[in-house]
Amino acid sequence: MSAHEKYDVFIGLEIHIHLKTVSKMFCSCRAHYGDEPNTNVCPVCLGYPGTLPLLNERAMELGYHVARSLGCRIADRTSFVRKNYFYPDMPKNYQISQFEEPVGVEGLMEADLGDGGVRNIRIHDVHLEEDAGKMIHAGDVTLLDFNRAGYPLLEIVTEPDLRTGEETEAFLRDFQRLVRYLGVSDGNMDEGSMKCDANISINHPGKGLGTKVELKNMNSPRFVRLALNHEVIRHAEIIDAGGSLIQETRLWNENRDITESMRRKEEADDYRYFPEPDLPPFIPDDAFLARVEASMVELPLDKKRRLQAEYGLSPEQAEFIHDDVATLHLFEQTVRTGSSARNVAAWLSSDIRKLLNRENLSLADSPLSAARFSALLKLIEEGRISGKIAKKVLENIFSENSDPESIVEKEGWSQISNPVELALIVDKVIGANPEVAAAVRDGDMKQRGWLMGQVMRASDGKAAPELSGKILDEKLSTIV
């Protein structure tokens, strides 16, 4: 019997996302990933004595937007506190955060957990705070980059409703998709704009929560899954051996695929929370709440269901289309021009996807617009180019950053649909392959497909397939 079968498992998450704002949470420094170390800093975010924080209202708006999208009871008053602790990357030796009055509480997030099905995961609270800086360890030396200190950070705390590493990985991917749909964060765990700590405990069935262990240092949904499944086994082995677990914080070692003890877990009292004296409570007015309400969008799972119901897409097609915001927008914009939804989905999930992977491009950074995509499909539907030529046109759109019409005209790729011209090509193919033609006449239809291939080759792929096939059949039927 596996540990998951023998014990009840309780997993809760603390997800942090960097909010997409121009400036930091409490000062005007630029909030931007990848800049030279310690170039986006000032006396406020470096914690100089006598400096005063100034609230970034755009960050508050994005925080309320997330809380509202998660179905939280949003606050009509929210306030900040000082969370006291000493770390080298936190210059003030305290973090401005929220505790008793967060922006939202008691929410639900509907998530597709794979084999676990679609479930509602309870959200305990959503609160705003500032990020710490970054420590870079180089041998015996630790370097500090304070560019990130003071970034607007939104923390989303779930209840312990997840049961396995696989469910948690699926939930995190759904959450990434959500924040990207909302446009509030990049959600890139590898760049640090989304981070996740996990709290896990196990216990005998029906006994409730066990001793909680917090897991850190997991920079991908996959590592979260591996770390949690490792911890389930580790906890079970300790309990089976008659031992006792301790409440602690552990780090995931991705090189060894194990967790390692970091420190005993702090309790809330250890942080000595007290009200932030330099920031008054924030009370949203009607205009602020109206902006939050106006920013609401169709949520990912609702979008996926609508793609299937409205456009007749398969579950697999809908999953692919709705997974990426840029792909979704291109799909919907192209379909609005009158293109077939299934054709659009098929091209996106096959040839366009392969080309993007080959060129190491994202769709958002590619030269393929809805207008160009629609024009390409229209050329096929009107019989002006074949599907084979269309693939070549697509490649040229990417390589030349040009429009389909211009490419076809420049390359001379217009489809041959003149019956007289096609008949000459068919005659040439039959004349060069009399034995094959005779075999087709005698009923070998596999050879008929080969002959059609030769017709397409002889025309450089420009022969209209349906008309060419009809002419070929007529010519073959007259062979004596």
Last residue of a domain, one of 265, 292, 319: 292
Question: Is there a contact between 134 and 112 (Cβ–Cβ < 8 Å)?
Answer: no
One domain, residues 126 and 236:
yes
Tens of each residue's pLDDT in the chain, 480 residues: 787 889 999 999 999 999 999 999 999 999 998 899 999 999 999 999 999 999 999 999 999 999 999 999 999 999 999 999 888 899 899 999 999 999 999 999 999 998 778 999 999 999 999 999 999 988 899 999 999 999 999 999 999 999 999 999 999 999 999 999 999 999 999 888 999 999 999 999 999 999 999 999 898 999 999 999 999 999 999 999 999 999 999 999 989 989 999 877 666 567 899 999 999 999 999 999 999 999 999 999 999 999 999 999 998 999 999 999 999 999 999 999 999 999 999 999 999 999 999 999 989 899 999 999 999 999 988 888 888 889 999 999 999 999 999 998 888 888 777 788 888 888 888 888 888 888 887 777 778 888 888 888 888 777 777 778 888 888 787 765
One domain, residues 53 and 189:
yes
Which residue in 247, 307, 285, 246 sits closest to 76, CA to CA?
A: 285
Q: Which tokens in the block code for residue 44?
A: 């406020």
Measure Cα distances from 183 to 18, 29, 134, 322 in Å: 11, 21, 25, 15
One domain, residues 53 and 167:
yes
One domain, residues 228 and 260:
yes
Last residue of a domain, one of 411, 428, 451: 411
One domain, residues 227 and 330:
no
Q: Which tokens in the block code for residue 40?
A: 């986006």
Task: Report the CATH number that the domain containing residue 437 is assigned in CATH.
Answer: 1.10.10.410
Measure Cα distances from 193 to 29, 347, 375, 396 in Å: 17, 32, 37, 35
One domain, residues 244 and 304:
no
Q: What is the β-pairing status of strands 274-275 and 213-216?
A: unpaired
One domain, residues 389 and 444:
no
One domain, residues 386 and 444:
no
Last residue of a domain, one of 292, 318, 341: 292
One domain, residues 249 and 395:
no
One domain, residues 63 and 136:
yes
Which domain does 315 fall in, by range?
298-411
Q: Which tokens in the block code for residue 461?
A: 């792929």
One domain, residues 39 and 24:
yes
Number of other CB atoms surrounding residue 352 within 10 Å? 21
One domain, residues 231 and 359:
no
How many structural domains comprise the chain? 3
Write the burial class of residue 293 (CB in 10 Å: 0-12 exposed, 13-18 middle, 19+ buried): exposed
